[in-house]
Amino acid sequence: MHKNSPGSAEKAPRRRPGRIRRIALPYLLLLPALFLELLVHLVPMVIGIVMSFKELTQFYIRDWGTAPWSGFDNYKVSVDFDAPVGQDLLHSFFVTVVFTILSVSFCWLIGTAAAVYMQDNFRGRGILRALFLVPYALPVYAAVITWVFMFQHDNGLVNHVLHDQLHITSKPSFWLIGDNSFYALLIVHVWKGWPFAFLIVMAGLQNIPKELYEAAALDGAGMVQQLRRITLPSLRPVNQVLVLVLFLWTFNDFNTPYVLFGKAAPEAADLISVHIYQASFVTWNFGTGSAMSVLLLLFLLVVTGVYLALTSRGRRTADV
Amino acid sequence: MRSIRAAAVGAVTMSLALAATACGGGSSTDGGSNDSPKTLTYWASNQGASIAIDKKVLQPELDKFQKQTGIKVKLEVVPWSDLLNRILTATTSGQGPDVLNIGNTWSASLQATGALLPWDATNFGKIGGKDRFVDSALGSTGAEGKDPAAVPLYSMAYALYYNKEIFADAGIAKPPTTWAELVADGKKIQAKGKSALGAEGANVSENIHHTFVFAKQHGGEFFTAGGKADFTNDAVVAGVKQYVDLMAKDKVIPTGDAEYAQNQSVSDFAKGKQAMLLWQSAAANLKSQGMADDKYGIAPVPVQSGTPGTGAQVNSMVAGINLAVFKNTDNLDGSTKFVKFMTSDAEQKILNTAYSSIPPVKAAQEDASFNSASNSVLKDTLATSAAALPQVADESQFETAVGTAVKDLFADVAAGRAVTTASVKAKLEKAQQQMPAK
């Protein structure tokens, strides 16, 4: 670079292309990354959208260019809430919404509480912190399959404690089938998700200046007031991202219900991603499955957009 | 300056290279070729008690094949939970194995995708002709009137496995031959504190296999002659209800079994906790779980009355594994040779002995080693009283939809809800509505 600039006075006419080149260079360097980004993210999305307009059943999957176009038929089937497919999708959607709200709330609450308590220095803090992160660090499959064993009706730990030892239930409950499966799923998911909230909030707390608390303490603010007036407002930008990420992850989660219940989830815990998987892979109708995925994508886009618009507006007014 | 240019050139080159490789990923979708005549990839299904056992059984045979033909076979044993997905993915992408095992009930569904090599007269000629195989096994290789999509490899049938000691303790002289007897025996067994019968209530495929037989015994079919789904006819509803009632009304199946999906009922039987098990070719599996051969007896699956036979006397599905050649293979000749090898009389004897299944090849089946008491029950069942699951393109969807409905019914029983003819019919109605509309 520097070789070029000093002697450039006499070569004035050649300056321009050099500058263009210099301006173009960053973009050229970005090209491979951009290309990979397109390849990895956008192309599959576009293919998924194309698939949703095709009648992609077992008769065409081998060469799916030959699958006939079906227009909006797949979408019509998916949102026809009087017919079983649409009804099931709607049911699954509501289950997922309730599940997501509960799971994100608990994850955030437990994570934040733990992070706040871990703020003060005390003996064993490091060990506790490490311990708290274990569920997050474990491979999903290994962690969830352990829960499957614990939730078993006959030999599971949960029933052993609740029924055999504490006598809370009159007879052993089923956790992996039937209505309780919702709670089983929620418990496993919160267990797996809150350490992430803990980690992020803990990082956010490091950025709050100690002086603020000292000043507040001098002014006579108690623990609760400090939390309400200093900690939570300072965490606002962190929370904004954290809740969004938790929401998206939870709403889309596939691994937990799949490992917990297998291919056919119980109705009470029929999360939308497994439902779509079932609608496409298990029944071999990839067109309908794709249409449902596109609808899910649109829904998440709208929610994310509205959320970001609302929260950032709130922040701007707060800043003023 | 030079370094800038180098960087720019590098960036552009890299983008172009990426573009080229991304576009060049496809492969021919028409028939196979013989581009790589020295290697084969083989996807085996998990037949033994574990994948490691399968490798131990198969590898020596593959080595033998390599010695004979010089073709190296790369073996991958695919667990049942993944096999169908893997095949579908291979079908969609065109990138798959050369030879593969399929569950014989999937034959018609996979045939419809066009991913498997059709076994016409010429292809059958290369492996010694269609006549070498038993008819009942050939009945589960694809839709009627079409060239089979696969060749029978192992045949299996359901039988009633019973724990001799528990039966003796309960004062039961001989295994039940009708469902009424089974329920009565079950009560005697339960009086002794053991559980009577096991089931995999949350296993979709097991549910299908049993309800198919129960429906048959009530004279019902899940599909009309024209291949349309007909899950709500009275006979099918009665059949499904009778199976679920073994838990709901007769209470011979413990409610805990409603959540079983990982062969826990086989373990319960092997551990001596449970007196009876309806299973297909379980001998090798039981042995690997530590149950000695002389601890249990094996009898035909009960019927409503009389003796097993055809029509309403059917007491098993034709269970089994077929061997298929992937149409996109790049070693067509080698694949055919491999199928010929695996279905040869000698290999059939070795493999079916290892897996306690019955050879679908006539000459191998006549071997003395398949005349043991347990094998003759399976052989008789296959020969006289087993029926093939519907050979229709929607078979796979049927398994999922109806199997899930039965799983939900078992879950209802477990939750203490009543199972009535109406509730069974409602679940089946919903399953039928999930089937592809045509």
Asked if residues B83 and B43 have their Cβ atoms less than 8 Å apart, the reply is: yes
Indicate yes or no: CB of B436 within 8 angstroms of CB of A285: yes
Interface test with B, best of A2, A58, A260 (most B CBs within 10 A): A58
Q: Which of B92, B261, B400 sits opposite A282 (nearest CB)?
A: B400
CATH code for the structural domain at B158-317+390-434? 3.40.190.10
* In B81-202, beta strands by DSSP E: 99-103, 151-156, 158-163, 195-197
Summarize pLDDT for A67-76 with one digit per residue, the tens.
Answer: 888 888 889 8
| pLDDT band, residue A316 (cuts 50/70/90) | low
Indicate yes or no: CB of B397 within 8 angstroms of CB of A284: yes
> For residues B15 and A27, what is the distance between their CA atoms, to the nearest angstrom?
12
| Closest residue of chain B to A38, computed from CA coordinates | B19
Domain boundaries defined on chain B:
39-156+318-387, 158-317+390-434
> For residues A201 and A195, what is the distance between their CA atoms, to the nearest angstrom?
10
Considering the entire predicted model, what is its pTM? Answer: 0.83
SS3 A92: helix
Instruction: Give the range among A172-176, A309-313, B71-75, B143-147 with minimum mean pLDDT.
Output: A309-313
> For residues B25 and B83, what is the distance between their CA atoms, to the nearest angstrom?
24
Name, in order, each residue with C-beta under 8 angstroms of B410's C-beta and a sequence gap of 6 or more: A177, B199, B201, B202, B207, B244, B247, B257, B258
Asked if residues A247 and A106 have their Cβ atoms less than 8 Å apart, the reply is: no
Q: Which of B113, B255, B403 sits opposite A59 (nearest CB)?
A: B113
* Residue B65 confidence (pLDDT): 96
Instruction: Tell me if A181 is assigned to some domain.
Output: yes
For domain B39-156+318-387, which CATH number applies: 3.40.190.10, 3.30.43.10, 3.90.1640.10, 1.10.3720.10?
3.40.190.10
B contact residues 267-326, partner A, Cβ 8 Å cutoff: none
Instruction: Tell me if A57 is assigned to some domain.
Output: no
Instruction: Work out the minimum CA distance from B34 to partner chain A, whole angstroms.
Output: 20
Summarize pLDDT for A99-146 with one digit per residue, the tens.
Answer: 999 999 999 999 999 999 888 888 888 899 899 999 988 999 999 999
Task: For chain A, give the mean pLDDT.
Answer: 86
B contact residues 385-404, partner A, Cβ 8 Å cutoff: 393, 396-397, 400-401, 403-404
Instruction: Work out the minimum CA distance from A137 to partner chain B, whole angstroms.
Output: 26
Q: Which residues pair with B42 in a beta bridge?
A: B75, B99
Indicate yes or no: CB of A177 within 8 angstroms of CB of B410: yes
> For residues B188 and B182, what is the distance between their CA atoms, to the nearest angstrom?
10
Does B6 reach chain A within 8 Å, measured CB to CB? no
The answer to whether domain B39-156+318-387 and domain B158-317+390-434 are alike in fold is yes
Amino acid type, B186: G
Q: Which of A22, A32, A266 sits opposite B411 (nearest CB)?
A: A266
Asked if residues B380 and B161 have their Cβ atoms less than 8 Å apart, the reply is: no
Q: Which domain holds residue A184?
A: 87-319
* Residue B334 confidence (pLDDT): 94
Where residue A284 sits, what CATH number does that domain have? 1.10.3720.10
User: With contacts defined as CB-CB under 8 Å, which chain B residues touch A154?
Assistant: 256
> For residues B66 and B235, what is the distance between their CA atoms, to the nearest angstrom?
52
Instruction: Tell me if A5 is assigned to some domain.
Output: no
* Residue B397 confidence (pLDDT): 86
If you search the block for the tokens 């826990």, which residue do you land on? B264
Instruction: Work out the minimum CA distance from B12 to partner chain A, whole angstroms.
Output: 7
Q: What is the mean pLDDT of residues A32-58?
A: 87
Q: What ipTM goes with this model?
A: 0.77
Number of domains forming the structure of chain A = 1
Instruction: Tell me if A148 is assigned to some domain.
Output: yes
Name, in order, each residue with C-beta under 8 angstroms of A277's C-beta and a sequence gap of 6 or more: A254, A258, A263, A289
| Closest residue of chain A to B93, computed from CA coordinates | A62
Pairing of strands B151-156, B195-197: unpaired
User: With contacts defined as CB-CB under 8 Å, which chain A residues touch B400?
Assistant: 263-264, 278, 282-283
Name, in order, each residue with C-beta under 8 angstroms of B413's C-beta and a sequence gap of 6 or more: B244, B247, B248, B255, B258, B419
Q: Which residues pair with B45 in a beta bridge?
A: B78
What does each of the 438 residues of chain B score in pLDDT, given as a tens digit?
566 667 666 666 666 665 555 444 444 444 677 888 889 999 999 988 788 989 999 999 999 999 999 999 999 999 887 898 899 889 888 889 999 999 999 999 999 999 999 999 999 999 999 999 999 899 999 998 899 999 999 999 999 999 999 999 999 999 999 999 999 999 999 999 999 999 999 998 899 999 999 999 999 999 998 889 999 999 999 999 999 999 999 999 999 999 998 888 999 999 999 999 999 988 888 988 899 989 999 999 999 999 999 999 999 999 999 999 999 899 999 999 999 999 999 999 999 999 989 999 999 998 888 888 888 899 999 999 999 999 998 888 898 889 999 999 999 999 889 999 999 999 999 889 888 765
* Residue A29 confidence (pLDDT): 87
> For residues B358 and B351, what is the distance between their CA atoms, to the nearest angstrom?
9
